[in-house]
Chain A
């Protein structure tokens, strides 16, 4: 394997990490807001607070890691994407900033405001929407190189059905991933009411998720036949993903093996995410930039890989500690212990 491929795999893994962790976070915020509107907040808010509080900061780091990494390994992306993404990414930053800081303000400072919870919930859907636009742009057809400068065709982007399909898929994924995770988490916390409610949401959002995923693959045939052929050629990966999806839904339906269902869910998205990524190879921005043209020099690539390995040696034990103390700690999850918050 060459360094280019190694680099993009590492980054893709981190982006995948962000997709999963952030989806749980975004979805939880949305369900919390929705339950406030339907007067069911007493059921959910506890469980959501308990999960989110110690880990919310970690979520953001996955994203930072991805974009710093991609500019490090592929400095040309700064030029291509940096020039065209000013508006959508700035909007995402602002939403992320409002969301992140107000989460802290709310949970550590003052408490309880409906309007805020509502805005918080909606931002959880708007952020993935605005970020998913980056994936749409990467499919090609929206960026022209004029006078050596990439220009984004806003009109084409906003009127393309592909754009909106991807936005809808990102929303459905957020809600589905979050619901499945919280179904399990509530079960672990022995909060049966919350468990039932989340289970219902998980089953509801399974439908739109798979519908949108299939719709996008079909649209690709129109939008970019080249990319569509690539996707078809690795159909077994999408097939495995679909099978895992069915197994997850079945487990949740039968209320069995909920821990396993979360594992299968993660695998399902891992397969789909990597199938998508592989079919995108070798393009970073179709058809203008490939990972080979955009790659940094050998020296930098090697030092980044070394830094990455050293960093992982530091992070994995730390993350393990975090999860052991909170996510997998029975006392903490069930809320049986005293509040040790500063």
Chain B
């Protein structure tokens, strides 16, 4: 299967859910942009349909563009060797607030670790099911307990001190 055929199959399978279909990396990789609320449906289709077969999630990362968070899922189909980038974006309600995104850990279980990391560092709640759970806080497993704020956000201000240690070099 080459990239033109994959493009055709994706357009047939996802038709109205696609916001943008572009070729990246000198035209060798296809990127599909969908709405965040559809991500689970699209992910299930990409994994289960035998003619697509994207059963491996190679990487997942979050990036911040202005106020929006861009979620990128790097997929691979082991049978055909094709790669695909699935993208969605979410916007937090206010700059300090928690953003909410559907979790894909039921489709690709290896996403769980990376989702937890992004949740802590970007302040995103990844919810299972159809609607966001009433979760107000994110459990800390990478940052020390009691840490305030989300360090990877652009608006993040470094702490003055943490647990009694001044966050400044001596003599400055």
Do A and B share a complex? no
Residue numbers of A with Cβ under 8 A of B are none
